[in-house]
Amino acid sequence: MPKFNPVSLEPVVNSAISEARYWGAKTAGAVAGLPVGSQTFWGIPFEFTTPTDEHDLLVLAGTSAVEIEVGASGSHLVFAHFCDERASTTVAGQSADYSNPVITAPGEHLADYVVMFEDGSELRQQVRRRFEINQVQTRMQSGFSSRQHQGLSTIPFRGPYPDNTWGRWQTGVMVGDPPTSGRTAARADGEGRSNPPGSWTIYALELPDSSVRIKSVRIEPTGAATFAIGAITLFGGHENPLRHLPLETIELGGTGITAADGMQVDVDLGVIARQRDIQRFDSEDWLASPVRGWGEAPDDPEFSASVDLTASADATLSVNGSEIEVGPLLDSGEATSSDGNVTARVLTSQRTWVHGRIIDSSTGKLTAARVHFRSPDGRYFPPYGHTHEVNDNWFEDYGADLLLGDTQYAYVDGTFQGELPVGEVYVEVSKGFEFEPIRQKISIEPGQRQLEIKLDRNSNLRGSGWVTADTHTHFLTPETAHLEAAAEDINIINLLAAQWGDLYTNVGDLTDGISGSSTAETIVWVGTENRQHFMGHISLLGATGSPVFPMSTSGPTEGYIGDPTVRAMSDWADEVREKDGLAIVPHFPFPHSEVIAEVVLGKVDGLEIRDFHVPTMDTFAVHEWYRLLSCGYRISAVGGTDKMSAGMPVGGVRTYAYIGDRELSHKSWSDAVRAGRTYTTSGPLMDFAVEGLRPGDELSLPESGAAVHVKATASCAMP
């Protein structure tokens, strides 16, 4: 039995795609654009009738039956058909009164398709609006037991993508062919909503016995609405060809299998969602590594090529011309192509939905954290709601995800849920610098629903009067900023609105106080980073009252083209201080211009001295700070990440400030910064005093010097 066998409609066609007299105005316009000729929809080939006397469509506008000869056997008759937007009667029928193509009469009985077999038996199937058949245009009203002819296209979020389509491309999938241009802000989308593309309805009618030959199929219209049939294909398989099984990852090997992007891969009754290389995962090395929570860039050149696919059990997977039947592959877990050149193996086919909890072992309470799960073959399994492939481009992904090296993480509030593979699973959990990051191998049982992971503290500087802060983050929503700060053990996160040419970010989040997302131990404050391309940048934190505007001046790329110079950094600094805020110099000292004058004039309260691109303290910024100290300019060192993408963790560079027994607040933290009671770190922790004095205090010694009592502790979770 052939897999696909087109049924000829040439003897019965009575109209043409271009003929409008049978249809309502909207239907006629959409029908004229339907694809005809040799087409493949959802992997099923259709042969639309070649026009004979200008007829290429079977239209049924009354109640007269039409019989179509078949003369073959199969498991399903697959129809490409559609119905009019309106009913022939207005009594409880489909209404065409709406400007949008809205289906008001789902289930309206339009016809019976009667399959007559050569053994004398019959199969009668009702054909109903929005079930087996649908009108040619719909708005979010797909068929309950059929599909539109447009298939699925996978689109890479990294691009390239046409103009104005970046947002759409982030979904990774599109119905139909991707557009060549996106909708612009100046163009209303009303026309697209009220006049969507026309679609054939593809419906697979299941037959009771594929071994019995079909004599013909008789189309018996009820007269409720006009409809048309364009093509019929007899399918010879075992399952409905339009019903696809859940997504699976297939590892490929054999002759000619190299990198995934170099393979020619296709599946007829399904969709290839991804082609990717899976880096070899050495679980023993991973578990034994002393560096945890900071990601890794594997240096092992070994990898395996794989595809993620969803397909019918009757699908055929083609790899570089070698064919593998999908049904047997999924049933047994592995298969070899018919020519012996390609091997295929299903990875982690058994999965279960798990509800997880992260517990602070010192309190027994839920705690936010950063999590990473991977299968034994090395694939990332994110909790539900988190992307499988984190986008770390600038201003493109500001969700609760992180990419460090090649390792992807999800930020969770202490609870999470999602699908994990049954069997061995490798988990990494991290929470800032004062919790021991863990890597574990756990076992997930079939049907398991609960998972609990405990984090142990290695330090508690908060209990000794120290609080943590990130002085410099962008783009996150206040709620996401709160989540990521809590998960990274940050007490105060400063989210900065800014101007970037004609782009303004986080301005709608500005208030004259802490953000409503804040809690007792995690405070979010939306301030501004005010920027001038030549004189420098200044972060204005904790100001009350109206914002300090404008946020940029003097033109690109901070301001817009032609923006005049209306304010200096010193002016911004003076205003924020008048409003009880802090003036912080970000990414000190660059651009090494007005910044130094502000320090000398005492107009700023702290300097971000850590270069987050250089993993050392031996940098120009640190040396410059020490030069200022040696010149008598006592100014605090603070730490901020300048986070602008999912490639930077909140608090990766952070400020520790000593507030003693004062209540945690943005004010108590700001006072500590002003007083110099700070240090900045990317991991090592300190608590120290000299003669009982803290950082920021002054110790007077005689000219001859003196012995002093120093009390200090230092620790670090990482080597």
| pLDDT for res 141 | 86
- 562 vs 159 pLDDT, higher one: 562
Half-sphere exposure of 279 (CA within 13 A, CB side): 14
Per-residue pLDDT at 184 exceeds 60:
no
Which residues partner with 655 through β-bridges?
A: 469, 680
Work out the burial of residue 214: count CB atoms within 10 Å of its CB; fewer than 13 is exposed, 13-18 middle, 19 or more buried: buried
For the chain, what is the total number of helices (H) and then of strands (E)?
10, 44
Which DSSP symbol is given to 362?
Answer: T
Chain centre distance of CA 548: 34
| pLDDT for res 94 | 62
167: phi then psi, degrees, rounded to nearest 5: -60, -45
CA-wise closest residue to 694 among 671, 712, 715, 670 = 712
Per-residue pLDDT at 140 exceeds 90:
no
Alpha-carbon gap, residue 8 to 294, rounded angstroms: 63
Tell me the average pLDDT across 290-307: 85
Which DSSP symbol is given to 133?
Answer: B
**SS3 string of 234-250?**
EECCCCCCCCCCCCEEE
| Percent of the chain clearing pLDDT 90 (strictly above) | 80
**3-state percent helix, strand, coil for the chain, nearest multiple of 5:** 10, 35, 50
**SS3 string of 57-86?**
EEEECCCCCEEEEEEECCCEEEEEEEECCC
Tell me the average pLDDT across 38-51: 91
548: phi then psi, degrees, rounded to nearest 5: -85, 100
Instruction: Pick the range with the lowest mean pLDDT from 184-198, 297-311, 461-475, 563-577.
Output: 184-198
Write down the residue that tokens 């299941």 correspond to: 206
| pLDDT for res 717 | 83
Please give the angle made by the CA atoms of 487, 491 and 492, to the nearest 5 degrees.
110
Which DSSP symbol is given to 261?
Answer: G
| pLDDT for res 102 | 80
Query: Judging by DSSP bridges, how do beta strands 38-41 and 44-47 pair with one another?
Result: antiparallel
As a whole number, the mean pLDDT across the chain is 92
pLDDT, tens digit, 9 for 90 and up, residues 233-269: 999 999 999 999 999 999 999 988 888 888 999 999 9
Alpha-carbon gap, residue 602 to 591, rounded angstroms: 19
User: What is the SS3 assignment for 616?
Assistant: coil
CA distances from 443 to 46, 374, 418, 440 (A): 48, 12, 15, 10
pLDDT, tens digit, 9 for 90 and up, residues 539-560: 999 999 999 999 999 999 999 9
571: phi then psi, degrees, rounded to nearest 5: -65, -45
Q: Categorize the per-residue pLDDT at 520 as very low, low, confident or very high, splitting at 50, 70 and 90.
A: very high
Q: Categorize the per-residue pLDDT at 367 as very low, low, confident or very high, splitting at 50, 70 and 90.
A: very high
pTM of the model: 0.92
Name the region of 296 (left: φ>0; alpha: ψ -120 to 50; beta: rest).
beta
Chain centre distance of CA 544: 35
| pLDDT for res 232 | 99
| Cβ pair 531, 498 in contact under 8 A | yes
Chain centre distance of CA 35: 33
Tell me the average pLDDT across 623-632: 96
| pLDDT for res 195 | 66
Tell me the average pLDDT across 363-391: 97
CA-wise closest residue to 36 among 234, 218, 229 = 229
Query: Domains of the chain, with CATH numbers?
Result: 4-150+197-235 (no CATH), 248-347 (no CATH), 351-455 (2.60.40.2190), 461-674 (3.20.20)
| pLDDT for res 186 | 42
Tell me the average pLDDT across 568-573: 96
CA distances from 680 to 273, 523, 660, 711 (A): 44, 19, 17, 19
| pLDDT for res 599 | 96
CA end-to-end span of the chain = 66
Per-residue pLDDT at 13 exceeds 80:
yes
Chain centre distance of CA 329: 29
| pLDDT for res 97 | 59
Please give the angle made by the CA atoms of 20, 228 and 4, to the nearest 5 degrees.
135
Q: Categorize the per-residue pLDDT at 606 as very low, low, confident or very high, splitting at 50, 70 and 90.
A: very high
pLDDT, tens digit, 9 for 90 and up, residues 144-164: 999 999 999 888 888 888 877
Q: Categorize the per-residue pLDDT at 185 as very low, low, confident or very high, splitting at 50, 70 and 90.
A: very low
Alpha-carbon gap, residue 157 to 169, rounded angstroms: 5
Work out the burial of residue 698: count CB atoms within 10 Å of its CB; fewer than 13 is exposed, 13-18 middle, 19 or more buried: exposed
Query: Judging by DSSP bridges, how do beta strands 58-60 and 503-505 pair with one another?
Result: unpaired
Alpha-carbon gap, residue 412 to 356, rounded angstroms: 10
Alpha-carbon gap, residue 719 to 715, rounded angstroms: 10
Structure tokens at 206: 């299941």
| Cα-based torsion angle of the residue sequence 592, 598, 604, 610 in order, rounded to the nearest 10 degrees | 20
